Amino acid sequence: MVFNDNNSKHTLNSNESVQQVSVDYDSDWRSNLSNLEVPISVEKDPLLVKALSLTIEGRRISKDMGAKLFREADSQGLSSLANLIKVSRFGNYVFFNENLHVNITNVCTLACRFCAFRRGSRHIDAYSLSPEEFVSRIKPFSHIIDEVHAVGGLHPEWTVSHYSDIYQLTKQRYPNISIKSLTAVEVKHLASRSGLSISDTLSLLHEAGLDSLPGGGAEILVDSVRDRICRGKEKSSEYLEIHHEAHMLGIPTNCTMLFGTVETIEDMMTHLDKLRKQQDNSSGFQCFVPYPFLKDNTRLPEARLSTANEILRVISISRIMLDNIPHLKAYRMNIGDHLAEIAIHSGADDIDGTVGHEEIMHEAGSTTSVDYDAKRMQKLVKSTGLVPVKRNSTYNSFVILDEQIKSEKMKLPIAGQ
């Protein structure tokens, strides 16, 4: 994948030119990787050297080796190896988009133990947005954003028609805003409530304006863990099947991992392995988003919680193991801006966007600022020495936000798959 030098189309402000670029998915990131200088912190650890060799050869890091890397590899070396792989794909670019989170309802028929967001339907804070209320939330941001990220609880009464009305009205008012909406369990719930198959449910919603699915709700794709933290939610296999159906319909999706609850390292490796097998099968995952459990207002006292070091190790291992999912997001709503800045040097190539409004992580204790604009995102990325690239929701339109280093970086090979 190579950035092509197309016409400059956008201007951020009078002082700073930006560059609209397109993407060619032809080049081979593994061969780029074989040509990069290996950091000393990788070179001195035989385990990391082996992982690098396997990756260059196109062989997979097994679950056992992933667990061994997680437990034993030097932290700096692990981070450096993940960063090297990221650089082989994307050079020094870091992607973000201008988005807005709108939660459609916090009413939910389930009560996952890690969830601080859901409310019972009679709770004083319960809310359920009508289509008009939904678009009114978008209105103040409509001139800025490219994407609305809309997830919520499992409403006891709504069917597909309510969501179709929401998406249709959104597209009618704001045709250029991409709708990324519904976790897998919401899709399952709507299908069940509407008496439809998963495929028919997704087709109807796609026709109404749904552009992509976020990856939320994957938690850990091991049913014994799910039984402890989110009993009643879809099974691991159902999560994967729903994403498979979406991919078959041409709807791109993301995937996630919630860690730091009760899972083992082996459970995390199983999760990553299931995702890459699914991607082998259906190729529709755009981005992987790992995030640690936040405990405020939840009901999971036995959660082991994650240290900053563990969070970075998860991000690095994910980059090393997920050789077929192109993007890896540092989800700053959850891990905070400071850790996100380190994460983009530890394997992550994408950082969550302007956001505008966020409830799910903030109910659980996040204090990350939501009122970012593109300038602030640009500053955050540039302060780490990397190059900010504004992307669209579905990763097929990119604008480099740094004219000064454009000419140098435009030569970097950037691989997608």
For ligand SF4, the binding residues (CB under 6 A) are 108, 110-112, 115, 117-118, 153-154, 185, 230, 233
**Of 154 and 213, which has the nearer Cβ to ligand SF4?**
154
d(CA 373, CA 393): 16
Tokens for 334, please give them: 């959850």
- 3-state SS, residue 381: helix
CA distances from 360 to 103, 106, 152, 407 (A): 9, 9, 9, 40
**Of 93 and 114, which has the nearer Cβ to ligand SF4?**
114
CA distances from 341 to 68, 256, 330, 386 (A): 26, 19, 8, 10
d(CA 43, CA 247): 39
Q: How far is the CB of 118 from ligand SF4 (least distance, A)?
A: 4
Q: How far is the CB of 125 from ligand SF4 (least distance, A)?
A: 13
Q: Specify which residues 388 forms β-bridges with.
A: 94
Q: Are 260 and 321 in contact (CB under 8 A)?
A: no
DSSP characters over 177-202: SEEEE--HHHHHHHHHHHT--HHHHH
